[in-house]
Structure 1
Amino acid sequence: MALLTSSPTNMIGLIIFYVIFLGGLMYFMAIRPQKKQQKKLNDLVSSMEIGDFVLTTSGFYGTIIDITDDTVIVEFGNNKNCRIPMQKKAIVEVEKQAL
């Protein structure tokens, strides 16, 4: 009586194939887009200048009045008295000042 069994080497090869396939799928669906988004954010942060109009992660719009290594001072509102220092990574969007 012949039993339908596959050899252990075929099973190991199939398992290795699935592991590589799932690793590649995870890379292209999770890791690669995240790296792309991080690169875009780093480019945005490095292009900031004094006078640029910004949107913060908390949803506030303001104008950059000073920039240091890892922080910016943003001025909010029309009264020019609300100046808040924040980290550069809290900036989501930058609109360049009109020349």
Structure 2
Amino acid sequence: MWRSRRNRDRRTVVCIACGDSVLREDAREYDKEGDRWDRRDKEFEHLCTDCDDEICHQPRDGLESLVLSIESDGLSQEEFLDRYADAVSDSAGPPEDG
């Protein structure tokens, strides 16, 4: 008889958000590139289900390149956030009527 899939992987992983150790089967894969379906040459990080439920699941196309383009050495958090807000508001189109 076949074993249950649920009992196959008893490894633990660490949630990158809260630091808790959880069973791999109970964790969610996190891919900073936003494309978890392209699995070639990737090592995924993991989130526990509670932390995964709290994050935004919207597409992140171009986010990393945007962040890299506005960050620099010695930039305070406030300066970074100001630059980020300016960059995002420049690229946003007009608000849609809802």
Structure with bigger strand share is: 1
TM-score, normalization: structure 1? 0.23
Larger RCO (CA under 8 A, 6+ residues apart): 1
Structure possessing the higher radius of gyration over alpha carbons: 1
